[in-house]
């Protein structure tokens, strides 16, 4: 019997497909910013490659202190309002969030200005792919949960990890809105037991 596909796996698999196309397939072979490997999880033997992109569905640096503020969309201008999601919203489903990251590692022996150029090009491709690729518009898993959107954003903290690695490494944070049918209203397609409120 096949294992049912969870939303986390579906997001990881789709990100792998989208970022492979954006950073490898669509980039000329003589471009120094062409990525050698896109993978899910922490790199090991792949670190020998020149350019590497790693996908994390749980942010390896842990939750940011501003996580709630970012999710709520704290206003920055008088005419803006916070983006707030009721506990039970889309079709009577519970709305939640998933926060992950993509890490870019450039392991070429480059001068600082060249490293910045290479990292910048890869960062642009990854960001645009996550924010714009139609394959990441909506996803539904085998349990009836679905993702309604995924976007990149910036959190407080060291985006590059600090130190000399800052020229050769970037963290691109992403957040996905997820919805699950375990609310008290409507009919759920799958009865999930959950301890969270």
Tokens of 3: 């294992």
Residue 188 domain flag: no
Residue 190 domain flag: no
Domain span at 131: 7-180
**Res. 7 pLDDT band, cuts 50 70 90:** very high
Residue 196 domain flag: no
Residue 120 domain flag: yes
Q: What is the pLDDT of residues 26-50, one digit of tens each?
A: 999 999 999 999 999 987 777 778 8
Position 78 scores a pLDDT of: 56
| Phi/psi at 44 (5° precision) | -130, -95
Residue 43 domain flag: yes
- Mean pLDDT, residues 11-17: 96
Q: What is the pLDDT of residues 132-151, one digit of tens each?
A: 999 999 998 988 888 988 99
Residue 82 domain flag: yes
Position 27 scores a pLDDT of: 95
Q: Give the count of domains, the chain.
A: 1
Position 98 scores a pLDDT of: 85
The answer to pTM > 0.75 is yes
């Amino acid at each position: 019997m096949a294992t049912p596909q969870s939303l986390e796996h579906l997001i990881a698999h789709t990100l792998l497909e989208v970022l492979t196309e954006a950073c490898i397939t669509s980039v000329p072979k003589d471009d120094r910013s062409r990525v050698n490997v896109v993978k899910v999880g922490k790199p090991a033997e792949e670190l020998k490659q020149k350019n590497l992109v790693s996908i994390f569905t749980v942010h390896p640096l842990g939750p940011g202190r501003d996580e709630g503020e970012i999710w709520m969309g704290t206003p920055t201008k008088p005419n803006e309002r916070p983006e707030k999601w009721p506990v039970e919203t889309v079709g009577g489903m519970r709305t939640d969030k998933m926060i992950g990251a993509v890490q870019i590692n450039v392991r070429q022996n480059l001068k600082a200005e060249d490293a910045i150029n290479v990292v910048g090009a890869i960062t642009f491709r990854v960001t645009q792919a996550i924010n714009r690729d139609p394959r990441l518009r909506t996803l539904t898993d085998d349990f009836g949960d679905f993702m309604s959107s995924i976007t990149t954003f910036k959190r407080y903290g060291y985006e590059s990890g600090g130190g000399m690695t800052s020229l050769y490494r970037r963290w691109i944070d992403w957040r996905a809105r997820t919805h699950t049918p375990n609310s008290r209203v409507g009919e759920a397609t799958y009865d999930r037991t959950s301890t969270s409120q």
